[in-house]
Amino acid sequence: MATKNLGTIVLDPGHGGTTKVGGSSPNNAVSISGVKEKALALDFCTILKGELATQAASAGESVTVVMTRTSDVNVGITARAAFAAKNKAKLFLSLHFNGSVTPSARGPETFFRAKSNGNVNLAADMAFAKKVHQGLLDGIKAVDPTVKDRGVKPDTATGPGSLGTLNDAALGNTAGGKCSAAYIEAEFITNPTVEKVLISGPGAVANQRKVMASVAKAMLEHIRTL
């Protein structure tokens, strides 16, 4: 029996490099132990890419996964989204981590492009954002039941403007859409519990894989409906 190909997914590890490129800053958050957001984003996306391929294969399927960067380089915001158009992706996921001066701040949050920011693919983007967020939340809960849920939100909740990687024109979307896109802030890496569970604790590497396995499961379930 021929392997069913589910299509293409583009993963976008946030930030990278040492200088600002096309609106993309080299790094924002830094963990308690000094690990930079850009490094964690790349590590988690690399794990997620492997999980997507492995889980698809175990179901007799295949999926093409493309990353906007695979090393410590920066890529402009529009160029990141354009990877989706170039590769005719069905799903685009930008992965970042939060930071705060308040150590107790924590919890994953997921964003979709607001209608007021010109989203032509609103219903599909919201459905994808909710699905991937639930996978992320379930994964973190499995390794740390104390996690707080910051929910799914339009990108207007981030302040003035919009999240450029969710721009429909850059993603190659027209009315009705082609590629569903979401942007996740996986956790607050300035939180002591997150530091221990997901970054530097003895079980951190295994926990990273558990969390990304849950995200991969959600993404594959979603792409099968498209």
Q: What pLDDT digit, counting tens, does each position of 70-106 carry?
A: 999 999 999 999 999 999 999 999 999 999 999 999 9
Looking at the chain, the whole-number percentage of residues with pLDDT higher than 90 is 94
Domain span including residue 75: 4-223
The whole-number pLDDT of residue 108 equals 98
Q: What is the mean pLDDT of residues 147-155?
A: 97
Residue 5 has pLDDT above 90, yes or no: yes
Number of domains in the chain: 1
Continuous segment of H or E residues that includes residue 43: helix 37-58
Q: What is the mean pLDDT of residues 121-150?
A: 97
DSSP 98-116: E--SSTT----EEEE--GG
The whole-number pLDDT of residue 35 equals 98
**Identity of residue 162:** S
The whole-number pLDDT of residue 162 equals 85
Residue 176 has pLDDT above 70, yes or no: no
The whole-number pLDDT of residue 161 equals 74
Contact 55, 216 (CB under 8 A): yes
Task: CATH number of the domain at 181, please.
Answer: 3.40.630.40
Residue 2 has pLDDT above 80, yes or no: no
Helix, strand, coil in percent for the chain, rounding step 5 = 45, 20, 35
Evaluate the CA torsion angle 217, 220, 127, 8 in order and state its sign: positive
Residue 159 has pLDDT above 90, yes or no: no
The whole-number pLDDT of residue 3 equals 87
The whole-number pLDDT of residue 1 equals 63
